[in-house]
Amino acid sequence: MNLGKYQDCVCRRMGNTQALCRGELTLGEQGKRIRLTPKAGEQAVAVVLDGCVLRDNQPKCDGLFLWQGNQSNAAVLVELKGAGDIPHAFEQLAYVKRQRPEYRALVKSLRAEAGAGRRVLEKAVVITNGMLSKPDQERLEDHYGIRVMAVLHCEASSPIPELRDHL
């Protein structure tokens, strides 16, 4: 996928300059990681938002996966968050989705690559070493006005969650 001026923010198989990249399709920091493994005929990129696409002091989430499937496409915002700061993750995701023109431009480029008439689903996910009950998640979603497709548990000693399972 060609992301124009944001191409340098895409994770690569080798030679990554972005600290958040843990491989071509894996984002991670401080023991929290997530990956996306496309199936045959699918394409995906991992994009570093915090510190690359978004370089100011406004709220921002960590990364973004852009995925092209056979029948649908998705832009999935990712926030990697410690156990004590999960509510802040919802605030960051909501702000990027609603307020960031850079995010809108990336979704627009995915839409253009996908072709006319193909929908792009916009989703969000939180990766944390903490726990969040369903009622607490719903309360945070209502408060910040964003739906989070999954709050996934990950720590250094656990398997890396696979985002493909949630698309």
99-115 pLDDT, tens digit each: 999 999 999 999 988 77
* Range 86-106 average pLDDT: 97
- Taking alpha carbons only, the member of 133, 122, 49, 137 closest to residue 87 is 137
Residue 163 CB neighbour total at 10 angstroms: 27
Decide the pairing of beta strands 73-81 and 120-128. Answer: parallel
Distance of alpha carbon 66 from alpha carbon 87, whole angstroms: 24
- Full-model pTM: 0.95
Domain ranges of the chain: 4-166
Is residue 117 pLDDT above 80, yes or no?
A: no
Q: For position 86, what pLDDT does the model report? A: 95
**Confidence band of 73 (pLDDT split at 50, 70, 90):** very high
In Å, what is the CA distance from 51 to each residue of 88, 127, 133?
Answer: 18, 19, 31
Structure tokens at 33: 């990681």
Structure tokens at 10: 């895409």
In Å, what is the CA distance from 116 to each residue of 8, 44, 73, 108, 110?
Answer: 26, 19, 12, 12, 11
